[in-house]
Amino acid sequence: MDKDALYQRLDLVAPSPYSRSEYLRRAVWAFVYLTCFRISPIRAFKWRRWLLTCCGAKIGHGSQIRRSARIRHPWLLEFAEHVTIGDRVEIYNLGPLTIGKHTTISQNAHLCGGTHDIRRRDLQLIRSTICIGSGVWVCADAFVGPGVTIGDNAIVGACAVVTHDVPQTMIVAGNPAVVIRERPRPTA
């Protein structure tokens, strides 16, 4: 097969898509993550918030990040107050990721802020923003893709695959995620 007939050419992919300073920051964070974050006591939420802020994250008061959560670039992370990040949550934030107040990201959810430009043979890296509003619940095993905005008080159902914006107060579920109904207003 002629190599010009191939839609992607892995020999053309950039071997180093980040700057030197970012590789250094990644190495420092990897060391901190493996030696201080990951092995910290289960309830050491304040300690983990402090570690993340030392590495450039902006973390609001009362936020709880489980020690098994995986965060790629803390310096691109901003949480409001009282955010909960569950066990084994993957925060693949190649671009800025913001989460509003009183939002829960449940266990095994995957927030993916990176992809590749499939129109280019070299599959150039795209570092996208993810914005998750206040009062949101991203349920277990859900996937939130690059460039997605989830509106305030929305719910992303378990195992949902979200590739488009979610309007505020809506419940979405499925693969691909579709609006199921509006979230009811709380009574108490």
CA distances from 182 to 5, 23, 161, 175, 176 (A): 47, 43, 18, 18, 18
CA atoms within 13 A on the CB side of 120: 12
Which of 57, 24, 173 is CA-nearest to residue 65? 57
Q: Which amino acid is at 131?
A: C
Greatest Cα pair distance in the chain: 66
Active site residue 102: no
The one catalytic residue among 82, 110, 116, 164? 110
Among 38, 139, 146, 17, residue whose Cα is nearest residue 52? 38
Please list the active-site residues.
110
